[in-house]
Chain A
């Protein structure tokens, strides 16, 4: 499997790919101790700036760094153009699907997706039925995970439409690279990503409720103990909006206000980084102390915009994923530009039988799982693990999907003092407002352990700066 993975830097004959040539020439000219010094510098800068993710239950000093690798992941202009087009198409279809599911449900009536798969899904929010959201946009921020297969073609592995995270690392990684190796940026024309917060703010303001002349946007965080708190604070600061917690907001007469030093102030748009379940204790989980009582009523009355909308989870659920290509055809009348990974839906009998017979070749995922938890990687699993999963799948087949184990592409990465190939993926961020915007590139995540296919930061993954070359 390792031998068949696509190498981002080198082609099969061992020569450097064209878009990597200039970088490789530079890399070969660098003294090893200069690179080592730069890597140490990056670590200490990330620490000082506090670009960390909090680890629950540990002392505040042991907030961890997400390891940063100094070798960039480079995409050629043409590669990016086709990715960009495919991502736009996909997110347009996903938003159309969400609008349809929460209105007329034509796609269900047309029989393209089984109704019970939607209506019996915990991610489907009946509270959203019939609500018109501004611009018919549900997923204002989408993180679409794409991977490259053995022949270099891209696949979408997963859609993230609830509260996708990681964009702050994309921005900070670029800043770090420019600080460590300014000379590289004078040799390459790397497409900039720094305008992301501006686009985000403009989009959020564009979806404010009708009548809000100068809309007030806030970012709602679960608080300083949340693992992604750095990102929340960072984005709020970059956009110049208030970073609020649930306790800072209250609802009066179906409008949302924040408590300020000069009394209540109206809030028009909430960029929330809290899951649906915790948003409003009156509507969802009553034990939630993170949310705002009455928020749903204000939202239903159209007095506040919540981004992403409530109920987007129905479109990124892993049981719905296999139907995204159908959505593209159904809503846009187009052929999907980026393919899905072949997926066995284990609630279907023939798929189940195949998966149980080929478990040691497959990756099995929980339908509602996220973050790389609750996952089986067949080829790497022990006999006991396989047996355990087989039993779990038999007990609740509808909870699982299975996919062939992909030979994710590799990119040279520092392992100790030397470079070694490590598997990577890519999460581009797609912003929907009046227009659809994708900053070139995204976040490249890298599995740091040799041979590992799990790139999640909670599972020991690192990140790289991602370059899209403009020429």
Chain B
């Protein structure tokens, strides 16, 4: 992916920010942007000729196709959509944040703490994203999975992931 710098967040999905009337415009623009990104970045790898292609030939060609497709998406976007028929659920900031944070915690704790703390963190944090989970149920679930994880992955499958480690 070329858009590494701007790690996209699932913000406002189907919320007021993105709705049926503007969705295709955003979608097409994003595709055009990605296509242009591929062209710019790809051309730095050396395009070459058809006879002896450089590393950049294929990426640039794909970028052109992608940008054209994006233009097509914008051009065929629907314009006349009656208002008020869209029922979009509210954005789920809590759920999204907890899931993302859980994965982040897994990587960080996996690196500096080992499998057990990482397991606990990813399950506990992501479980808190669901409004029906209480602190207690999240705690019990994560403790249960710590046991399952240790047995299945460390003991049975022998995944190369120490249960505990420091530094």
Q: Is chain B found bound to chain A in the same assembly? A: no
